Amino acid sequence: MAESARPLKFTTRAVIAGRPAAGPDAPLNTPLVLASTYGSFGELEYGRYGNPTWTAFETALGDLEGGACVSFASGMAAIAAVLDLVPTGGTVVAPRHSYTGTVGRLRELEERGLLRTVWVDITDTAAVVEAARGASLVWLESPTNPALEVADIPAIVRGAHAVDALVAVDNTFATPLLQRPLEHGADLVVHAVTKYLAGHSDLLMGAVVTGDAALAERVTRSRTLGGAIPSAFEAYLALRGLRTLAVRLERAQATAQRLVRALEGHAGVAETRYPGFGAIVSIVLKDAAAADALVRGVRLWRAATSLGGVESTLERRRRWSGEAPTIPEGLVRLSVGLEDPEDLWDDLAQALP
């Protein structure tokens, strides 16, 4: 039978990318390779340089994002590797509302005199492009964590590239199912694989994807010399989770949209923030006390700081000292999982003020 000329759909690629070649007795999944040392004169040599299980995951995620993938021990390790691209004394433009780990790393590097950070409202495209003048890197989150603001990625990329700044996009919330920044001209994409890609709250891992071979080499060198390598077991689990990303996120997104409609009509909710896609929703209650009461009052939702798993979680974000002061005290971030939508709403409704 002749092969189809039509490109394979995303959901199909998520299932097949990175699998071993088909053949008699060939495994359907890449085996877990537990080795620190390999025979000399090959491509691997030593476990800090590579692992076949990493390679399978990197092949799959690279295919989905459209570039070369380098995996890391955590999302923070991936973030650190990208920030290592900034020359000493360089400037980074970053959203004022960003993942607290990113904010903390930028502040720490600034305190050491290694770089300068310009904080921007990521929804003000003109201001972001203006701030990019003289910058080495524009860092984007879209949607932002936890404010759920959306950036105009193509416009910002065009403006940043016009002044020779690189653009990196944290795509953890959207995933390549909903958004592929490299297709819009971004130079690098960052993932906390721990979240939606792996999807089961059972591992720590990160990744950087780029379409630029020179950047891929520099990011790989940062991993090799810094030693922030993922374990083979984490890579194995992450690839298994990636296989079901499409069905998990489609279900969670549909539930999130149902919950948003209910939350927008609830008297106890002052504001509902939802960008129109994805499975993260932020709501603002009247104050910190009301938000804390909601978090403690739910029975099915789990109070937890991470997100993107099959279970639904929620958290009042200002309980963390590193959260931006412009995030309301009463903001609660919801990560919608795979439970029945009616059960999730009933639990929220009985705990809302």
Give the catalytic positions in this structure.
Answer: 48, 99, 170, 195
Burial 198-209 (b: 16+ CB within 10 A, else e): bbbbebbbbbbb
| DSSP calls for 12-38 | HHHHHTTPPPP-TT--SSPPP---SB-
First-last CA distance in the chain: 62
CA separation for the pair 38, 54 (Å, rounded): 15
Q: Which helix (H) or strand (E) holds 198?
A: none
CA separation for the pair 122, 127 (Å, rounded): 8
Phi and psi, residue 115, nearest 5°: -160, 170
Are the beta carbons of 167 and 197 closer than 8 angstroms?
A: no
CA separation for the pair 333, 283 (Å, rounded): 7
